[in-house]
Amino acid sequence: MGEATVKTMEGRTATPAPTVAETAAADSRARFRTLRSPRRPRIWFEVLLIGVSYWIYSLIRNAVPEQKTQALRNADWIWDVEKSLGIAVEQSINHAVNSTTWLIVSMNYYYATLHFIVTIGVLVWLYRWHPGRYAAARLVVFATTGVALVGYYLYPLAPPRLMNGQNFIDTVLVHQTWGSMASGDLKNMSNQYAAMPSMHIGWSVWCGMIIFAVARAPWAKILGVLYPTATLVVIVATANHFWLDAVGGLMCLAFGFAASFAWYGALPHRLPRMVPLRPALTPLLRARARGLFSPQTRP
């Protein structure tokens, strides 16, 4: 049915002015839609947000009790599960790659640095060239990382290189690779028993999916596929993670995308490349803005 109308003295019809409650409800809906709409990011805020967020992430991750005994017990269980599934080949890969010094040293540096460099690089790329998609994509990273912290607390897990009696090679320790928080002199600065889930996989797959979905150049899409694939090989070859840690990282990433979709109503690559203008005011709000009626009165 159409809107209710009233007769004016001249015989014309007019739409009754809304009540205070109707106007307030419309105003609230408009503000909520504006809140959920992507906004143009501000560089100073983004730098501060990412810096503070990573500091909090590191603080919480490293504050989680190491629970060494439970972490080693969980590692043995994971290893037994992988053996039963026929996928327990991490040790073979670890020994094979370690036999080629230049390759394993390169992988050690890859593991220590690229997950920061590439993730930040993709965020900067989105900020500069796809600002309308930036906030939604950033939310995926934040939600993924947040739920990973819960995993570190609930399921302490030793990486393969720290297992007892399994003969995994700690490649960073053996080759004295600089820069890793996983072994050597820096190991006491990082929780060594937070291998599940793997955020190397969570972040690298996020990077790969965003690049593949948003980039136009075929070579960029190929790199989007290769980067998480190479990361998976690296985390296994360096004995920092099991295959199943990668599965945990993917589950956290799925949660991150779900959270972003729930807030913005679309996946990041489905949003407009540029930040859209604010949604138009509803007819009721436009009428109030023009001063055609007072919300306290009705005709």
E-strand stretches of the chain: 6-7, 13-14
278 falls within a domain: no
**CA-based nearest residue to 258, from 144, 168, 156, 175:** 144
Q: Specify whether the CB–CB gap between 157 and 246 falls below 8 A.
A: no
In the structure encoding, which two tokens stand for residue 202, read together?
A: 């969570």
Average pLDDT on 216-230 reads 97
Q: Specify whether the CB–CB gap between 157 and 78 falls below 8 A.
A: yes
Q: Specify whether the CB–CB gap between 253 and 140 falls below 8 A.
A: yes
Q: Specify whether the CB–CB gap between 132 and 275 falls below 8 A.
A: yes
| Degrees, nearest 5: CA angle 111-113-116 | 110
299 falls within a domain: no
First and final CA of the chain: distance in angstroms?
Answer: 21
Is 1 strand, coil or helix?
coil
Predicted local confidence at residue 297, as pLDDT: 45
Interval 114-130: pLDDT, tens:
999 999 999 999 999 99
165 falls within a domain: yes
Interval 143-198: pLDDT, tens:
999 999 999 989 999 999 999 988 999 998 898 877 555 554 445 557 889 999 99
275 falls within a domain: no
Give the total number of structural domains in the chain.
1
Query: Cα separation of 103 and 98, whole Å?
Result: 8
Mean confidence (pLDDT) of the chain = 82
Residue range of the domain that includes 150: 52-270
Query: Cα separation of 271 and 138, whole Å?
Result: 13
What one-character-per-residue DSSP string does 241-288 give?
--HHHHHHHHHHHHHHHHHHHHHHSS-GGGS-SSPPPPPPPPHHHHHH
Within 13 Å, how many C-alpha atoms sit on residue 123's CB side? 23
Predicted local confidence at residue 21, as pLDDT: 56
In the structure encoding, which two tokens stand for residue 176, read together?
A: 């004295």
Predicted local confidence at residue 52, as pLDDT: 84
250 falls within a domain: yes
% of the chain with per-residue pLDDT over 90: 58
Band (pLDDT 50/70/90 cuts) for residue 45 is: confident
Average pLDDT on 30-57 reads 70
**Is residue 299's pLDDT more than 50?**
no
158 falls within a domain: yes
**Is residue 20's pLDDT more than 60?**
no
Is 194 strand, coil or helix?
strand
Residue 14: enclosing H or E segment and its boundaries?
A: strand 13-14
Beta bridge partners of residue 13, listed in sequence order: 7
Q: Specify whether the CB–CB gap between 109 and 182 falls below 8 A.
A: no
Average pLDDT on 124-145 reads 94
286 falls within a domain: no
243 falls within a domain: yes
Higher pLDDT, residue 208 or 28? 208
Predicted local confidence at residue 55, as pLDDT: 82
The pTM of this model reads 0.78
Does the bond joining 18 to the residue before it have cis omega, within 30 degrees of 0? no
